[in-house]
Structure 1
Amino acid sequence: MVIHHAKNILLSVLAFLVMGGAAAQENHEAMNHGGMVMSGGKGSENVRDPNAYADGYVRGSGLYTSSKTHLMMSDEHLFSSLLVDRLEYAHTNDGNAVNYEAQAWIGNTYDKFLIKAEGSVEKSRIADTRTELLWSHAVSPYWDVQSGLRNDAGHKLPGRNWLALGVQGTAPYWLETEATVYAGSGGRTALRLTVAYDQLLTQHLILQPRVEANVYGKDDPVWQSGRGLSDATLGLRLRYEFSRQFAPYIGIERSQNFGKTASMVRAAGGSQGETRYIVGVRFWF
């Protein structure tokens, strides 16, 4: 009796599968004959129209159509930016000064025209400035190669012009790095290196140690710069970012002259090193 019931159940399942397969085949043939073919079928009149949901607008035509028919990628646009990395009031035992360092650029993802400016204002006059006009080209996701011109000027100081070649980018461990070599008239050469690191204490409070050093290949007594390691500056700034674009800060900085530069400064009655207490603001747009 059990075997008989099992046999009936098996026959019922087989009949259901056969009838279901036949129905599916019949339905498929009906769809083909009725013109309801999937996209890519031949001879169909109901293939989805790519402009069916465009309300009559067709790409490449119309009153406001651009002359360019290809899609614009982000690296085809021109962008610009201004970063004032340091605008600060510095207090020392020898006097006070306003220091600044800024970069402005215009270009695309790979190539930019870049202006760098750094200087100091003392006793209502510009004590010294460094201005660079550079062409910057991206060679990797984190590094740009920069080349161009540099000009140094100062109060009652002769101008110095240089050719510049360097790199700027992010080294391992997120070290913001600038390294540039210079060649000037009269056989002058120089190397400038800057390294900074942003340590996030919170999402808004950031501690930044910063080191800058200058090396010269030839004595320049007028500018009080000697051959070899001329000077180095170690700074520590604590800033609070109200937004990524605006951040006031306080800090302390130690500047020191070395070697022949220190001898020249002492001979002129100056100090070979000083500590500066800083309050300033960083912003960009």
Structure 2
Amino acid sequence: MSRASMLLAGLSALALAVPALAQSGSHAGHGAHQPPAKEAPAPQPKAQGMSGGCTAEHAAMGHCTMAKDDDHGGHDAHGDHATPAEPDPHAGHKLSPPATPARGDPACPPEHAAMGHCTPKAALPPHSAGGAVGTDLPAGDAPAPPPPGDWYADRIFSNAEMDHSRHEMMKENGGQTFGFVSVDLEYQARKGHDGLSWDGEAWYGGDINRLTIKSEGESAIGEGLEEGEVQLLYSRAIGPYFNAQAGVRQDFGPAPDRSYATIAIEGLAPYWFEVEGALFLSDKGDVLARIEGEYDQRITQRLVLQPAVEANFALQDVPQNAIGSGLSDVELGLRLRYELVREFAPYVGVEWSRKFGDTARFARFGGESAESTSFVVGVRAWF
């Protein structure tokens, strides 16, 4: 064998002997020094209020169900001691789950209450009557709470300035003074003689107290004035829909003039009937009375049909004025007007009038008819 072969064989034997010596040396030193074993990962503690990915907030809103704690408390399934959970550093910042609402309110189920969509009646403040507030409170006659008195503006402005400001505010919100004028002018086509008539009213004041002027009359074309009157009245509201009036009335025309003390009531009756009743006492001691009523039947927003009635009474005969006792006369009218604007409306219609009793007898004695029918054309305006 050559030297080269022997050298290769020796190197191969040395290479095989080194691992064997290393292994035997490791076993020889067993117990003296062991390499550190790889630490097993510590069990992760469950977050407070979480079970299987279900947080307390989600559980309160009904999105998931939290698992119950293990019956063995701090022991795991194999009996070993479980590693205690570390305190949650964010526990103090988490939102506490909302209190479970009462199940007795069907209008506010627990899941809606938990999301803040409603408040169950059982959770309402204890001072509310039966858990009700606002319009849910039962009807009663309990006194209203006092108005607030701690006005911030009082800290800046003087008492005189604030009193003036409050007075103006109350005046602008219900204490204004304003006026109104309304007049009907019409042409009456009668058999035998045509005529003109007017009926107007004007007043000025506030919601409670007003000064009122009324006037009406008619004349025959070519014959002059037949009759006319003017009333000057103090009007005071006695309710939301009625006014009481008192004042004077003055008649003028071919008949002897008369002055009357007047008391009246006018307003809007149920079902929107405009009514008026008046009692007159003349300077000669004559007592007269009058009742009127009319109704606006709106056919369209602009077309209005208005039936009207007027009746006059007398306590005694007044021959100088051709008035008989009892029911003196009645007028029935039906007018159809078209409101071009609210303040201006032309109209057409028909009117029937009839005198009764001694009044009819006085009319016939003077050459007049006791009954007449007129076709009317007129205009109504107000501002």
TM-score range, shorter chain: 0.7 to 0.9
Equivalent-residue separation in structure 2 for 1:12 and 1:192 (angstroms): 85
User: Percent identical across equivalent pairs?
Assistant: 35
Equivalent-residue separation in structure 2 for 1:141 and 1:82 (angstroms): 21
Q: Is the 8 A contact 1:100 1:120 kept in 2?
A: yes
* Residues 126-205 of structure 1: pairs in structure 2 closer than 5 A: 126-155=225-254, 157-205=255-303
What stretches of structure 1 of length at least 5 have no aligned partner?
23-49, 52-57
TM-fit CA distance, 1:17: 6.2
From 151, 154, 165, give the equivalent of 1:69.
165
TM-fit CA distance, 1:221: 1.2
Q: TM-score, normalization: structure 1?
A: 0.79
Q: Is the 8 A contact 2:196 2:221 kept in 1?
A: no
2:9 maps to 1:9? no
From 6, 12, 20, give the equivalent of 2:94.
20
- SS for the counterpart of 2:334 is strand
TM-fit CA distance, 1:69: 2.3
Q: Is the 8 A contact 1:75 1:110 kept in 2?
A: no
2:203 maps to 1:100? no
**2:175 aligned partner, one-letter code:** E
TM-fit CA distance, 1:59: 7.3
- SS for the counterpart of 1:218 is coil
State which structure, 1 or 2, has the greater radius of gyration over its C-alpha atoms: 2
**Number of matched residues?**
244
By relative contact order (CA 8 Å, sep 6+), the higher-ranking structure is: 1
Q: Is the 8 A contact 2:48 2:91 kept in 1?
A: no
- SS for the counterpart of 1:186 is coil
TM-fit CA distance, 1:67: 9.1
* Residues 197-276 of structure 1: pairs in structure 2 closer than 5 A: 197-276=295-374
Equivalent-residue separation in structure 2 for 1:17 and 1:167 (angstroms): 78
* Residues 110-129 of structure 1: pairs in structure 2 closer than 5 A: 110-123=208-221, 125-129=224-228
Equivalent-residue separation in structure 1 for 2:328 and 2:188 (angstroms): 21
In structure 2, relative to structure 1, the CA distance for the partners of 1:8 and 1:80 (3 Å cut) is: closer
Listed one character per residue, the Cα deviations across residues 13-68 of structure 1 (whole Å, up to 9, x for unaligned) are 4966631369xxxxxxxxxxxxxxxxxxxxxxxxxxx78xxxxxx878xxxx9993
User: Of Structure 1 and Structure 2, which has the larger fraction of its residues in strand?
Assistant: 1
Farther-moved stretch of structure 1 (186-195 vs 67-76): 67-76
Equivalent-residue separation in structure 2 for 1:77 and 1:114 (angstroms): 16
Equivalent-residue separation in structure 1 for 2:92 and 2:227 (angstroms): 94
- SS for the counterpart of 2:362 is helix
TM-fit CA distance, 1:6: 9.1
Listed one character per residue, the Cα deviations across residues 91-135 of structure 1 (whole Å, up to 9, x for unaligned) are 000211110000011101100000000011223522211110000
In structure 2, relative to structure 1, the CA distance for the partners of 1:7 and 1:187 (3 Å cut) is: closer
Q: TM-score, normalization: structure 2?
A: 0.59
